[in-house]
């Protein structure tokens, strides 16, 4: 059997015909082609930017207040100076009396005389405002101060556990006494007290 050798033939070059040009339209120059390419790229970039969605985080549900700077208090010697002691004692007495009277009326009088609730409401309003003012300065947050006032006044008013109710009463007496004493001493002597 004779061996036949096959010799590969070189591939014939494929000729790609040039695209037909439209009649009457001249061929584009390199500058025109570059200008069209830049315009296409710019249009693609604008389309990508237009389809890009920016998701912003939702606003916070509750915005808490930033702590306000508190001016430094006056030196203690001004409040407890020799001429101010009478005002301090009067303030301590008046401030401590209000929560004590409120406690006694709530726990011993209102059950027999329900019309005395208006006295309790007045005492709680006085005490709540004083304690709230103090708590805002102490805690630097109004919401925290409000919660403190509600808890303290509510414990003193509605708690049936004796020691817890008396603890609330003691704290309220101290806070109201100090607040009233400082308020009375901070007034000028010409104010009429």
* Residue-by-residue DSSP string for 48-116: HHHHPPPPPPPPPSSPPPPPPPPPPPPPHHHHTSGGGHHHHHHHHHHHHHHHHHHHHIIIIITTT-GGG
Give the chain's largest Cα–Cα span.
Answer: 141
CA-closest candidate to residue 156, choices 133, 139, 142, 173: 173
In the numeric block, the tokens 């790609």 are attached to: 16
Domain boundaries, the chain: 88-187
Residues near 119 by Cβ (< 8 Å), separated by ≥ 6? 101, 102, 105
pLDDT of the chain, 193 residues: tens digit per residue: 555 556 666 666 666 555 555 566 667 788 888 888 899 888 888 877 766 666 667 666 666 666 677 666 655 545 555 667 777 888 889 899 999 999 999 989 988 998 888 899 999 999 999 999 989 988 889 999 999 999 999 999 898 899 999 999 999 999 999 888 888 877 655 555 4
Residues near 34 by Cβ (< 8 Å), separated by ≥ 6? none
C-alpha angle with apex 107: 127 to 162, nearest 5 degrees? 90
């Amino acid at each position: 059997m004779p061996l036949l050798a096959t010799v590969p033939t070189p591939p014939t070059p494929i000729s790609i015909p040039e695209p037909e040009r439209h009649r009457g339209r001249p061929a584009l120059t390199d500058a025109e082609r570059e200008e069209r390419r830049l315009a296409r790229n710019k249009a693609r970039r604008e389309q990508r930017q237009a389809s890009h969605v920016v998701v912003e985080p939702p606003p916070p549900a509750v915005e808490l207040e930033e702590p306000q700077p508190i001016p430094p208090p006056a030196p203690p010697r001004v409040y407890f100076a020799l001429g101010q002691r009478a005002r301090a004692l009067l303030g301590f007495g008046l401030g401590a009396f209000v929560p004590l009277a409120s406690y006694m009326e709530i726990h011993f009088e209102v059950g027999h005389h329900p019309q005395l609730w208006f006295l309790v409401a007045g005492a709680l309003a006085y005490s709540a405002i004083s304690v709230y003012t103090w708590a805002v300065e102490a805690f630097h947050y109004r919401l925290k101060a409000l919660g403190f006032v509600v808890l303290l006044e509510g414990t003193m008013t509605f708690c049936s556990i004796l020691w817890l109710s008396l603890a609330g009463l003691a704290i309220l007496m101290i806070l109201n006494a100090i607040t009233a004493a400082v308020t009375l001493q901070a007034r000028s002597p010409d104010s009429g007290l």
